[in-house]
Structure 1
Amino acid sequence: MNPILRNVLAVIAGWLVGSFVNMGLITMGHSVFPIGGVDPNDMNALAEVMPTLEANFFIFPFLGHALGTLIGAVVAGLIAVNNKMKFSLAIGGLFLLGGIAVNYMLPGPTWFAVVDILLAYIPMAWIGGKIALKASKTN
């Protein structure tokens, strides 16, 4: 396969797989910690209630953001032909942009926004890149 095409595929696959992991965990979180009287698909209702939620309601969103980024970065790094860490970090950058947008659209507590933006994206993408590099060297 053409290396450029494969590298583009690495980003697309990493983004898709990471997004599925992210949404799966967030959906699971709504089952484990349901927000009483709020439809989790109603962005306006969520935006109103977010600042009042306790910390346990933010466990699954953080896990979704962090693990989605981590797994997406691993996938991108494994598929990429070269510059594996750069492609893993690109996934982290894409997810970071999405995380900033979500924190703007659904403003929660400041502590969550800070923890989410500082820990869930670039550090997880870096770890994912390291995993991909290590796995590539053993093959």
Structure 2
Amino acid sequence: MNPVLKNIIAVIVGVIVGSIVNMFIVMISGSIIPPPEGGDITTMDGLKETMHLFEPKHFIFPFLAHAIGTFSGAFIAAKIAASRKMTMAIIIGVFFLIGGSVNVYMLDGPIWFNALDILVAYIPMAYFGGKFAMKNP
């Protein structure tokens, strides 16, 4: 297979896998740490209206979803890529960083969470996913 095409496929599959992992973690989070009483978190508007009710524990699973989703997508992209494996992993991190930045802008969460999420959950996790993929053939 053409290496450029294989790298494009690697990024697409990485984004899909990372998104599935992210959504799975988000979906199970409410059964492990119930959302705050009196809030609707099923829509973006409801989540925005409820954000002031969130305690630090409510941010554990969103962070894990972002970090593990990015890590797994980057890992898969680096595993599939024909060349420039770390570059493909970092592309996944940038993709999810853009999505995370949009969420930060739209949701207006606490600054400590926004900073932690933006600084740790995306590019560093993509780097570690790429490193882990290249270390384990």
Give the conservation status (yes or no) of the 8 Å contact 1:33–1:57. Answer: yes
Aligned amino acid, residue 117 of structure 1: I
The unaligned stretches of length 5 or more in structure 1 are none
Residues in 2 aligned to 1:37 and 1:31: alpha-carbon distance in whole angstroms: 16
The unaligned stretches of length 5 or more in structure 2 are none
Per-residue deviation at 1:43? 1.1
TM-score, length-scaled by structure 2 = 0.94
Aligned amino acid, residue 115 of structure 1: L
- Answer yes or no: is 1:42 the counterpart of 2:43: yes
Per-residue deviation at 1:81? 0.3
Aligned amino acid, residue 34 of structure 1: P
Per-residue deviation at 1:42? 1.5
Output aligned runs, 1:74-93, within 5 Å: 74-93=75-94
Per-residue deviation at 1:40? 2.6
Give the conservation status (yes or no) of the 8 Å contact 1:72–1:91. Answer: yes
TM-score, length-scaled by structure 1 = 0.93
RMSD: 1.1
Aligned amino acid, residue 80 of structure 1: A
Spell out structure 1 runs of 4+ moving beyond 3 A.
none
Residues in 1 aligned to 2:51 and 2:134: alpha-carbon distance in whole angstroms: 38
Q: Which range is displaced more, 28-37 or 2-11?
A: 28-37
Give the conservation status (yes or no) of the 8 Å contact 1:30–1:40. Answer: no
Map Cα deviations across residues 107-134 of structure 1 (whole Å, 9 max, x no partner). Answer: 1111000000000000000001101111
Per-residue deviation at 1:39? 3.2
Q: Which range is displaced more, 99-108 or 116-125?
A: 99-108
Aligned amino acid, residue 38 of structure 1: G
Output aligned runs, 1:99-118, within 5 Å: 99-118=100-119
Q: Which range is displaced more, 15-24 or 33-42?
A: 33-42
Map Cα deviations across residues 41-98 of structure 1 (whole Å, 9 max, x no partner). Answer: 2111110111331001000000000000000000000000000000000000000000
Give the conservation status (yes or no) of the 8 Å contact 2:40–2:50. Answer: no
- Answer yes or no: is 1:135 the counterpart of 2:136: yes
Give the conservation status (yes or no) of the 8 Å contact 1:51–1:107. Answer: no
- Count how many residue pairs are aligned between Structure 1 and Structure 2: 136
Residues in 2 aligned to 1:27 and 1:107: alpha-carbon distance in whole angstroms: 21
Residues in 1 aligned to 2:15 and 2:40: alpha-carbon distance in whole angstroms: 26
